[in-house]
């Protein structure tokens, strides 16, 4: 089989690293990929949103299967366009990707199908939003409706902050048209966790749990990022919670897809807030999470391509998906300044000195004049699979001591 993966981050590196071990796969391509991916797949210099050129490439190369990593092409309808050309592609169609692409569409779905989530209201009129804002209590959560690369959620401590936030989004358009509409919702207390699930028309099958760390500094301090590190399994994922998530959230979601005629095939990422053992949905993403994927796929033993083909054939219920009992940790090394301003093209030193049981998933890296340099906010995901999260975490941090680039930043509390 020839497979093309679309995307260029650590998630895509983890997907390709896993596919590389699948026996049936003969050739792997990635658009556009990064320096790490270039060692195990052929890089294709086509933008992830240039659907026409991607289709031309897939036809010319006789690619058997395309896998979409990031949300923007999904929300723009890449899957529908491939399917129209009878090309095999893994990911949800445009209508289903709206669950991630529009917060109000998602909230509406959750409420309609009686799935636990924060109370909310949507607004297109800034004055009405300001008039009603006190009704949510403080802190209050304000979300731009559309895609904002993980930046569109404001948690406002008081009325003044909330009014300022609403004006920034709705009047000053800091998130452009993504902020034409906002969702305002009650603040939920609790512990966050994410569950990724494989989904086809007949079943929804959760993967092993993972815990992301969204804030840039230790102890959940500082700005929200795409994710600074993960471990799997999540420490709060008890059998009881697993059962509640299945019955109260996943099963109801599948029923909802059926009732709404949503032909969801792909990966559903469920962001949860758990309080007193009760899970509530914060958000749906319609793709693998980054860096959740780095730990979850490292634990996956079943061939990924078999799972993907089962989903495309609506036979997910026929396949037994296995994970190792070993536990996994991934710590992200980022460019100092991320998620705000940061510099790129800093030379990366030391990767050749790492222990054999360390896997390095590249995010923002590239080769410049034959040297490995940084090329993004999140740069590398240093990953280890071992008997426990604690052991894996210690190994990861021992190895990070050997890596260096100018202004390198990382959290020192992942899995500790």
Map residues 94-133 to x or -, x wherever contact with ligand AMP holds by CB under 6 A. ------------------------x---------------
> Shortest Cβ distance from residue 345 to ligand GLY (Å)?
25
Q: Which stretch binds ligand GLY (CB under 6 A): 15-23, 81-89, 286-294, 345-353?
A: 286-294
Helix (H) or strand (E) holding 389: helix 389-400
Whole-angstrom CA distances from 369 to 43, 124, 372 are 17, 50, 9
When binding is defined by CB under 6 A, the residue of 64, 212, 309, 327 that contacts ligand GLY is 212
User: Running DSSP on this structure, what letter comes out for residue 348?
Assistant: P
CA angle 193, 198, 200 (to 5 degrees): 140
When binding is defined by CB under 6 A, the residue of 292, 297, 331, 384 that contacts ligand GLY is 292
When binding is defined by CB under 6 A, the residue of 1, 43, 126, 153 that contacts ligand AMP is 153
212 makes contact, choosing from ligand GLY, ligand AMP, none, with CB < 5 to 8 Å by partner type, with ligand GLY
Residue 229 β-bridge partners: 331
Helix (H) or strand (E) holding 224: strand 221-224
- Kindly state whether residue 64 participates in binding ligand AMP, applying the rule CB under 6 A: no
- Kindly state whether residue 408 participates in binding ligand AMP, applying the rule CB under 6 A: no
Cβ contact 32:44 at 8 Å: yes
Please tell me the distance from the alpha carbon of residue 321 to that of residue 317, in angstroms, as a whole number. 10
Cβ contact 302:319 at 8 Å: yes
The residue assigned the tokens 């959560």 is: 141
Please tell me the distance from the alpha carbon of residue 268 to that of residue 284, in angstroms, as a whole number. 7
Distance of CA 192 to the CA centre of its chain: 14
Please tell me the distance from the alpha carbon of residue 230 to that of residue 247, in angstroms, as a whole number. 25
When binding is defined by CB under 6 A, the residue of 74, 141, 295, 316 that contacts ligand AMP is 141
Alpha carbon dihedral 305, 311, 312, 318, in 10-degree steps, equals 90
Indicate the residue among 138 and 323 with the shorter CB distance to ligand AMP: 138
When binding is defined by CB under 6 A, the residue of 64, 71, 100, 185 that contacts ligand AMP is 185
292 makes contact, choosing from ligand AMP, ligand GLY, none, with CB < 5 to 8 Å by partner type, with ligand GLY
Q: Tell me which residue of 286, 278, 264 sits closest to 117, measured CA to CA.
A: 278
351 makes contact, choosing from ligand AMP, ligand GLY, none, with CB < 5 to 8 Å by partner type, with none
When binding is defined by CB under 6 A, the residue of 227, 233, 279, 364 that contacts ligand GLY is 227
Number of residues that bind ligand AMP (CB under 6 A): 13
Please tell me the distance from the alpha carbon of residue 309 to that of residue 1, in angstroms, as a whole number. 12
285 makes contact, choosing from ligand AMP, ligand GLY, none, with CB < 5 to 8 Å by partner type, with ligand GLY
Provide the residue count of the chain.
416
Map residues 244-283 to x or -, x wherever contact with ligand AMP holds by CB under 6 A. ---------------------------x----------xx
Number of residues that bind ligand GLY (CB under 6 A): 7
118 makes contact, choosing from ligand AMP, ligand GLY, none, with CB < 5 to 8 Å by partner type, with ligand AMP
> Shortest Cβ distance from residue 31 to ligand GLY (Å)?
19
Please tell me the distance from the alpha carbon of residue 5 to that of residue 266, in angstroms, as a whole number. 14
> Shortest Cβ distance from residue 59 to ligand GLY (Å)?
30
């Amino acid at each position: 089989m020839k497979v093309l993966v679309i995307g260029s981050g650590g998630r895509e590196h983890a997907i390709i690293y896993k596919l590389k071990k699948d026996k049936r796969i003969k050739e792997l391509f990635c658009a556009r990929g990064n320096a790490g991916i270039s060692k195990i797949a052929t890089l294709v210099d086509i933008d992830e949103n240039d659907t026409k050129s991607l289709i031309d490439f897939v036809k010319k190369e006789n690619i058997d299967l395309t896998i979409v990593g990031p949300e923007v092409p999904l929300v723009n309808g890449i899957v529908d366009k491939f399917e129209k050309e009878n090309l095999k592609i893994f990911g949800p169609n445009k209508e289903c990707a709206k669950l991630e692409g529009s917060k109000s569409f998602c909230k509406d779905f959750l409420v309609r199908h009686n799935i636990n989530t924060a109370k909310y209201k949507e607004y297109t009129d800034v004055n009405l939003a300001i008039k009603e804002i006190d009704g949510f209590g403080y802190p209050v959560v304000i979300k731009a409706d559309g895609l904002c690369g993980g930046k569109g959620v404001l948690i406002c401590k008081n009325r003044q902050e909330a009014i300022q936030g609403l004006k920034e989004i709705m009047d000053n358009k800091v998130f452009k048209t993504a902020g034409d509409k906002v969702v305002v919702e009650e603040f939920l207390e609790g512990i966050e966790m994410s569950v990724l699930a494989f989904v086809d028309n007949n079943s929804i099958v959760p993967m092993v749990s993972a815990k992301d760390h969204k804030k840039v500094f230790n102890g959940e301090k500082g700005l929200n990022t795409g994710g600074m590190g993960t471990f799997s399994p999540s420490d709060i994922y008890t059998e009881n919670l697993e059962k509640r998530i299945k019955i109260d959230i996943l099963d109801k979601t599948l029923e909802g897809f059926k009732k709404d005629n949503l032909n969801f095939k792909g990966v559903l990422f469920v962001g949860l807030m758990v309080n007193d053992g009760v899970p509530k949905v914060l958000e749906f993403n319609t793709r693998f999470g980054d860096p959740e994927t780095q730990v979850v796929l490292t634990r996956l033993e079943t061939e990924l391509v078999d799972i993907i083909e089962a989903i495309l054939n609506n036979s997910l219920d026929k396949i037994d998906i296995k994970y190792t009992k070993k536990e996994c940790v991934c710590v992200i090394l980022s460019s100092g300044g991320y998620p705000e301003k940061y510099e790129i093209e800093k030379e990366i030193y030391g990767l050749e000195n790492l222990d054999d049981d360390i896997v390095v998933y590249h995010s923002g890296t590239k080769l410049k004049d034959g040297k490995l340099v940084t090329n993004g906010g999140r740069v590398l995901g240093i990953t280890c699979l071992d008997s426990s999260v604690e052991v894996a975490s210690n190994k990861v941090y021992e190895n990070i001591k050997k890596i260096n680039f100018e202004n390198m930043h990382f959290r020192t509390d992942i899995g500790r």
